[in-house]
Amino acid sequence: MRLKLRNIFLVYFVVSSVCLLYALLQIGQPCDCTHQLRADSSSHERHQHSVVLRRRCNPHGEDRLPVIYVVTPTHARPHQRAELTRLSQTLLLVPSLHWILVEDSTTRSQLVADLLVQSGLHYTHLNVQTPPVMKLKEGDPNWLKPRGVEQRNEALRWLRENKLSGDTGVVYFADDDNTYSVHVFEEMRYTKKVSVWPVGLVGGLRFEGPLVEKGQVVGFHTAWKTHRPFPFDMAGFAVSLSLLLSHPQVQFDPNAERGFLESSLLEHLVSVGELEPRASNCTKILVWHTRTEKPKLKQEEMLEKQGRGSDLNVLV
């Protein structure tokens, strides 16, 4: 009886050792996701998933796609990290993308630097402070002065300094509070000069956007300052990198009249007739000019006065 029990233990020991050895050998296998990619291409949702996999496992497989340079001006505020997290995780779904994040500050902040490192994106972290005379004062309505101008121009400067005229790509100015469908990025990827599409919830309308006839932009649906040369929002167009590189002086005008910032760049680059309508001849909304409500922190201020404010070591 005792002998039998010993045999059972022996067999048990051998079997579990073999299993453990097998498991150890599996760890450290190189990541090969090509079979996963093929299996994943069946449905649309899964396609998005496969894009993420490809980005993680095979960063060099994207080389042939033109790069989308997403330029985002950002400034410190209580909900900055929330906005940047949301945007960065949308951008993660887009292959061959380079995020140029430009802080309105005298130095690059640790908060943004850490967020970028952890994002898993290709990125460039820049900063430039808006001159105090151009800045909004406490209580000013946010439309009083154009915002993010110096930051977008800094990104243009970086592109011109670091990219060659032969590089293919497209530049998109994406504020950190808008809402982006992943599909808007594929619409812009093969922009020849300037591509355009409508933007939802902007200009006091359900949407603003180009009017298209026979595949050509013939006018614009807008109700505000309709005499603007290019009466659409920053989120409604993308510019080819080579066009920007071949016009090295062109940038946003910090002194542009309200509503004319987009025009101040575009009028030096294209004519209305040359605009390339996307998103099914500008009939689909793939980006929304959403706004985040300013968080109310009254109770926080009250507790701070009592020395009992929320733990500052906890990043929000």
Ligand X SMILES: *[C@@H]1O[C@H](CO)[C@@H](O)[C@H](O)[C@H]1NC(C)=O
Residues 6 or more apart whose Cβ sits within 8 Å of residue 6: none
Q: Is 40 annotated as a binding residue?
A: no
- Return the closest-CA partner of residue 74 out of 144, 185, 150: 150
Which of 30, 215 has the CB closer to ligand X? 215
Rounded CA-CA distance 302/304 in Å is: 5
Residue 273 Cβ vs ligand X, minimum distance, rounded to whole Å = 15
- Scanning residues 204 to 263, which ones bind ligand X (CB under 6 A)? 214-215
Which of 41, 280 has the CB closer to ligand X? 280
Give the number of residues in contact with ligand X, rule: CB under 6 A. Answer: 4
Residue 212 Cβ vs ligand X, minimum distance, rounded to whole Å = 7
Backbone angles phi, psi at 281, to 5 degrees: 55, 40
Q: Is 64 in the site for ligand X (CB under 6 A)?
A: no
Q: Is 281 in the site for ligand X (CB under 6 A)?
A: yes
Alpha helices in 101-240 (DSSP H): 110-119, 149-162, 183-188
Known catalytic residue at 262: yes
Given a contact cutoff of 8 angstroms between Cβ atoms, the answer to whether 159 and 169 are in contact is: no
Sheet with strand 216-221: strands edge to edge: 179-180, 287-288, 199-202, 205-213, 216-221
Residue 196 Cβ vs ligand X, minimum distance, rounded to whole Å = 13
Which of 197, 252 has the CB closer to ligand X? 197
State in Å, rounded, how far the first CA of the chain is from the last one.
65
Which of 62, 262, 293, 301 is labelled catalytic? 262
Which of 137, 214 has the CB closer to ligand X? 214
In terms of Cβ atoms closer than 10 Å to its own Cβ (0-12, 13-18, 19+), residue 242 is buried
**In the numeric block, which tokens belong to residue 10?**
């022996």
Residue 54 Cβ vs ligand X, minimum distance, rounded to whole Å = 26
Q: Is 310 in the site for ligand X (CB under 6 A)?
A: no
3-class SS of residue 274:
helix
Which of 76, 218 has the CB closer to ligand X? 218
3-class SS of residue 111:
helix
- Return the closest-CA partner of residue 260 out of 280, 283, 231, 284: 231
Residue 144 Cβ vs ligand X, minimum distance, rounded to whole Å = 39
Binding-site residue numbers are: 177
Name the residues that contact ligand X, by CB under 6 A.
Answer: 214-215, 280-281
Catalytic residues: 262
Binding-site residue numbers for Mn(2+) are: 177
